[in-house]
Amino acid sequence: MAKGASQLNRSAMHLLHRAGQCAADIFALEARSSGLTPRQFAVLMVVAEEEGLTQTDLVERTGIDRSTLADIVGRLLSHGLIQRRRAKEDARAYAIKLTPQGIKALRDAQPGAAAADARLLANLSPAKRQEFLESLSLIVAAARK
């Protein structure tokens, strides 16, 4: 193996990026019939858990940057998966809600998303899986500070 490759394979930043690419590819295979991307799925999941969130709330909960989230919301709106209405607390903001079609799309995508998670974690023992997920959560929490 070339020296640069061995150093790259010890880089947390590089390995996290590569793991993210693998995760997106696996999600695309497992949940392809849903037509959703991993980020669209994440947005629908968050909205399903807490209806009426604003786009700012979605940015905070998903970690998706504001401009990308606006694009995702636009696509979900155009596909009829969500609807927006002015937020009661702030007339400048929109509250997001799943449509019946969005609920169905989310329900249809969930088995594929679960299968993608299972494939991603399959090479780890149950104890390592939990440790891995906890480590990722720590990284995400630390990055938010």
Q: pLDDT tens across 30-63, in order?
A: 998 889 999 999 999 999 999 889 999 999 999 9
51 contact partners, CB below 8 Å, separation of at least 6: 95, 96, 97, 98
pLDDT in tens, 91-124: 778 889 999 999 999 999 999 999 999 999 999 9
CA atoms within 13 A on the CB side of 68: 12
pTM score, whole prediction = 0.86
C-alpha distance from residue 53 to each of 26, 56, 61, 83 (Å): 29, 8, 10, 11
CB atoms within 10 A of CB 128: 12
Q: Please identify, in words, the CATH class of the domain defined by 9-144.
A: mainly alpha
* Ranges of each domain in the chain: 9-144
